[in-house]
Structure 1
Amino acid sequence: MKDYKGYFIDIDGTMYKGSEIIEGAIEFIEYLNANNKDYLFVTNNSSKTPAEVAEKLNNMGFNTSSEHVITSAMATAGYISEESPGASVYMVGGSGLKSSLSDAGLVIKEDQNVDYVVMGLDVNISYEKLSVACLAVRNGAKFISTNKDVSIPNERGFLPGNGSLTSVVSVSTGQTPIFIGKPETIIMEQAVEKIGLSKEECVMIGDLYDTDILAGINSGIDTLHVQTGVTSLEEINLKEILPTYSVKNLFEVIK
């Protein structure tokens, strides 16, 4: 495997599954830290702040910081603020999305008269929130969604993801949103900018072909599939476009 300077790393299914640390994950981060390799955890989770993401990882035994995290909420805020600085936003989502939008200088409003509607995972979703979002989109607000994940893994099983919530507004209004998170290129372009390296110097690591691996493929970045999560090696081998590499676990990378 090529010796890369930068590593984009998925979290769930790559670093851990629920409360279970995946074999080789902690050792891989230790290897990156010890060898001064640049890396970013790239997550579609918009409900957590970078500090909260890093805190969970550290509590599980990883040694990292919020500077090594980019979320779909951060990428969404960056996209909107670059396109329309100071724009008004009606958001559906958690504290991570709210803080990212605010930190980017965007104005969060609680009514339908806004420039943008942003959909993120909201565990306290309500009919009223969806109603205001629909009304705002019908009023001409630009429709943005942090990611299209239709389900998310949980100790209870697979629960509705942000893509499922987004679909309610999309079906009701007839409008398709701009998606920001993996496998879209928007979050990856921002990750490349944040890490400060060329695409050729980086690799995208993840377990799920339809988000992690396609994010790299769509963005022209080499990919490393880990056989520790959702997509099996057998399923990978059936894909039209294969990842650059596939490994049993991250121990194989640091041998």
Structure 2
Amino acid sequence: MKYDGYLIDLDGTMYNGNTVIDGAIDFVDRLNKAHIPYVFLTNNATKTQEEAAKKLIDMGFDIHPETLYTSAMATAAYLEVEAPGASVHVIGSDGLKSTLEAVGCVITDDKPDFVVMGLDTALTYEKLALGARLISAGATFISTNPDRKFPSDEGFLPGNGSLVSVLASTTDVDPIVIGKPEGIILEAAVRALGLQKERVLLVGDNYDTDIRTGLDNGVDTLHVNTGVTSAEEVKEQARQPEYMINQLSEWSVE
């Protein structure tokens, strides 16, 4: 089936760590040549839109920053609608903080309305302890994404979901989750494409996030066996993606 637009994951689909996955650049080049619109839909909340785009461009991808939509951006959009000008304590990267500040959020450690947690590669016990105290004091807990792990050049590393579970367990508070597989981020990305869901294909490597996003929200999915979830693990699931391939070079966009 030919699709009019694509939602494409990054980690494990376009690259692993700092290594481009075979066939990924060619796949994007073929979309460009066919004038098929796409949005990179990533749960990675550590970078701003421009930083995420620069990584791809530096790797050799012919893309524009406007094609990037991150869970940090989706979190900012959610807060902009639900709580304009909210005070927020951030456990996460400078990129996440600046993305939230760009929509009017006030970053603070003093009685915030929200605690927003994204992947923090400099996470410490003190940061977790402060987050727990703020949530227990009444701050609404938000997780940018639920990924338990992500692929890197050195193998799988702990993802935000694994670290969020520490605060959830400590406070007995389950966070509001923004990123895939939740519909919040998907609906925003589909709007960016300007297409009907039935004409869009979601491409990703992680069954629990990428594929479930499509299955739960009415978008066809293509699982690529280059990242988190193996083909064998996918086949064990009760619900299957529409398509599964080993490499993106196997997929025709026309």
Report the TM range for the smaller structure's normalisation. Answer: over 0.9
Which blocks of at least 5 consecutive residues in structure 1 are unaligned? Answer: none
Percent of pairs with identical residues: 51
Runs of 4+ in structure 1 deviating by more than 4 angstroms, as ranges, are none
SS in 2 for 1:254: coil
CA deviations over 1:67-117 (Å, ceiling 9, x no partner): 011111111111111111111111110022111101111111122x11111
1:124-139 superposed matches below 5 A: 124-139=122-137
Q: Could you say what the CA RMSD is over the residues aligned between the two structures, in angstroms?
A: 1.5
Given that 1:46 and 1:146 are in contact with CA atoms closer than 8 Å, whether structure 2 keeps it comes out as yes
Aligned residues: 253
1:226 aligned onto 2:224: yes
Given that 1:115 and 1:141 are in contact with CA atoms closer than 8 Å, whether structure 2 keeps it comes out as yes
CA deviations over 1:153-184 (Å, ceiling 9, x no partner): 23333322211221221111110001111122
Given candidates 230, 233, 236, the residue that maps to 2:234 is 236
SS in 2 for 1:183: coil
Whole-Å separation in 2 of the counterparts to 1:87 and 1:118? 11
Instruction: State the match for 1:26 in structure 2.
Output: 25
Instruction: State the match for 1:190 in structure 2.
Output: 188
Amino acid at match of 1:206: G
Instruction: State the match for 2:72 in structure 1.
Output: 73
Given that 1:51 and 1:65 are in contact with CA atoms closer than 8 Å, whether structure 2 keeps it comes out as no
TM-score, normalization: structure 1?
0.94
- Change over 3 Å in CA distance of 1:157–1:226 after alignment to 2: closer
Instruction: State the match for 1:13 in structure 2.
Output: 12
SS in 2 for 1:54: helix
Give the CA deviation at 1:201.
1.5
TM-score, normalization: structure 2?
0.94
Which blocks of at least 5 consecutive residues in structure 2 are unaligned? Answer: none
Given that 2:180 and 2:186 are in contact with CA atoms closer than 8 Å, whether structure 1 keeps it comes out as yes
Give the CA deviation at 1:233.
2.6
Whole-Å separation in 2 of the counterparts to 1:243 and 1:107? 40
Give the CA deviation at 1:248.
2.6
Whole-Å separation in 1 of the counterparts to 2:143 and 2:168? 10
Whole-Å separation in 2 of the counterparts to 1:234 and 1:166? 28
Answer with 151-160 or 161-170: which moved more: 151-160
Amino acid at match of 2:92: G
Answer with 153-162 or 216-225: which moved more: 153-162
Instruction: State the match for 1:47 in structure 2.
Output: 46
